[in-house]
Structures are given as C-alpha cells and as structure tokens.
C-alpha cells in the first residue's frame, strides 16, 4: 500500500493523508492477526476494497474458497512485514 499522490499540498493535508494511510495499514495488520489469516496485507486490502458495500461478517468473507482461488500475488509488491 502506498500513497501515489496527495490531494492537498499544504503541510496539514499531507500529514493527515500520511496518518490516515498508516492507520489503515495498522488496522489491516490487526485484522490479519485477530482472524489469523494467511493473506498478505495487500490481499486483505484488495478483498475489503472489492467488497466494500457487501453487508456480511468479516470472517466468512475471508474463509470463502472463491476468494483464495481468485487472488494472485503481485510479484512487484514489496512486503513491509512478513507476518
């Protein structure tokens, strides 16, 4: 996960966007640890972004065989933590 561009150029706007990105990343890592998932942080983020408007519990979403079959690892994606 990276910030490709900033929506504001002031110091406060850039700081806010960096803090938000860090918080989202930490929430993804917490979700990974609590649910004991085998997915990478990138894969979890992709699943959540693809199912944003689907109302269902998180655990069944990640235990679905359909999800495991259709996610491919991006070899260009660097891993920050190997959890």
pLDDT of residue 29: 92
Residue 6 lies in a domain: no
Average pLDDT of the residues of the chain: 78
Q: Give helix then strand counts, H and E, for the chain.
A: 4, 0
Q: Name the more confident of 61 and 69.
A: 61
Residue 76 lies in a domain: no
Separation CA 3–CA 18 (nearest Å) = 8
Residue 83 lies in a domain: no
Name the region of 67 (left: φ>0; alpha: ψ -120 to 50; beta: rest).
Answer: alpha
Domain count, the chain: 1
The whole-number average pLDDT for the span 36-50 is: 86
CB of 62 closer than 8 Å to CB of 28: no
Dig out the tokens for 49 from the structure.
Answer: 């972004």
pLDDT of residue 72: 55
Residue 2 lies in a domain: no
Residue 58 lies in a domain: yes
State which residues form the domain around 46: 11-70
For residue 27, pLDDT beyond 90: yes
């Amino acid at each position: 996960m990276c910030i490709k561009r900033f929506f504001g150029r002031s110091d406060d706007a850039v700081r806010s966007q960096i803090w938000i990105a860090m918080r989202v990343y930490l929430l993804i890592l917490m979700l990974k640890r609590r649910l004991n998932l085998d997915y990478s942080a990138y894969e979890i983020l992709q699943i959540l972004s693809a199912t944003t408007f689907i109302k269902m519990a998180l655990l069944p979403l990640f235990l679905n065989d359909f999800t495991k079959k259709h996610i491919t690892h991006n070899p260009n994606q660097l891993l920050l933590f190997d959890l």
